[in-house]
Structure 1
Amino acid sequence: MIRRRLRVHGFVQGVGYRYSCQAEAQRLGLAGWAENRPDGTVEVVVEGGEEDVAALVDWARRGPRHAEVSQVDVAAEEPAGLSGFETR
């Protein structure tokens, strides 16, 4: 089990990014949350198996169809035992 905190930059608010991220995380069996930040980024915290988390990080670099992702900052953190994935 690993945990990553992502900060997604670009045109990522108002395009369904958080909801698409939630659907992808649920498809991969991951836990965590996605939240719009006041600076226009989306913050994502995700926990799960290493390969599945890596798959979500790869997805985050593309995002949904209407998003324009310019950068994704990824930080490793200690898992907290989250369950489910929510959109905040």
Structure 2
Amino acid sequence: MEAVFLKIYGHVQGVGFRYFTYRIAHRLGVKGYVRNAEDGTVEIHAEGDKSSLEQFVKEVSRGPSSAIITKVECNPTTYQGFEDFTITR
């Protein structure tokens, strides 16, 4: 299993981004969390097999139609063994 941490910049809060991410994660079997950060970005910790994570990052990077994404940072991170995908904050 692998893990990545994403930080999504732009107009991404208040547009359904967390629920959009949640639906994709559940469809692909990705575990972790999505949350709104205080700086106006969305942060995502995602865990899963390599192909599922690649597809997840690709879809999340597009965002919902109401979002305006200006930048996506995606970095490998430590696998923590999440059992589900949750929305926090």
TM-score normalised over the length of structure 2: 0.95
Aligned partners of 1:37 and 1:25: how far apart in 2? 19
Q: How does 1:19-58 map to 2 (within 5 A)?
A: 19-58=19-58
Q: Equivalents in 2 of 1:40, 1:76: separation in Å?
A: 22
Q: Following superposition, which runs of at least 4 residues in structure 1 exceed 3 angstroms of deviation?
A: none
1:9 and 2:9 equivalent? yes
Structure-1 separation of matches of 2:50 and 2:23: 18
Alpha-carbon distance in 1 for matches of 2:42, 2:77: 17
Alpha-carbon deviation of 1:78? Answer: 2.1
Matched, 1:69 2:66: no
Q: For the aligned residues, what is the CA RMSD? A: 0.7
User: 59-68 vs 19-28, which deviates more?
Assistant: 59-68
SS of the residue 2:33 aligns to:
strand
Query: Does the aligned pair in 2 maintain the 1:12–1:42 contact within 8 Å?
Result: yes
1:11-50 per-position Cα deviation (integer Å, ceiling 9, x unaligned): 1000000011000000000100000001110000000010
Runs of 5+ in structure 1 lacking a partner? none
* Structure 2 unpaired stretches of 5+: none
